[in-house]
Amino acid sequence: VEIRVPLLADALQAFAQSARDSTLMGFRRGKKPLRALLAKKLPHHLVNQPKAGFNPPLDASINALGEARIAAILQKGPVSRVCYWPVMQSILHAHFSGKRNETCKIWQLLYFNFWLEHH
């Protein structure tokens, strides 16, 4: 489940589907049309930076909700019909016991649950 909003217009999708792979991708470098456009406007070092993931600052929010509240949401929500509760429980336990930071997984489970409730 992605948390970013894709920038996709019909014309862009049509272009991408009709273009040859070599037009869109270079050796070890993707997004050739976007990079070409940005190269006209931005310094070279910005356009060619290596990819660096983004982790939203969710730790405080997840920790404020707490293990019991999140467990109740996941157990009672529609996600419990498609995800195995013992696995979700082990993710929560590992996070709240300090074994591993599972913020992103917990966020994805909560977001998936929310999505299932509304779709």
What pLDDT digit, counting tens, does each position of 35-56 carry? 888 899 999 888 888 776 666 7
What pLDDT digit, counting tens, does each position of 59-117 carry? 999 999 999 999 999 999 999 999 999 999 999 999 999 999 999 999 999 999 999 99
pTM passes above 0.85: no
Rounded to 5°, the CA angle 61-67-73 comes to 85
CA gap 90, 81 in Å, rounded:
17
Mind giving me the DSSP string for 33-63?
A: HHHHHHHTTS-HHHHTPPP-----S-HHHHH
Query: Quick one: DSSP state of residue 97?
Result: T
Mind giving me the DSSP string for 20-39?
A: -HHHH-BTTB--HHHHHHHH
Rounded to 5°, the CA angle 22-24-28 comes to 75
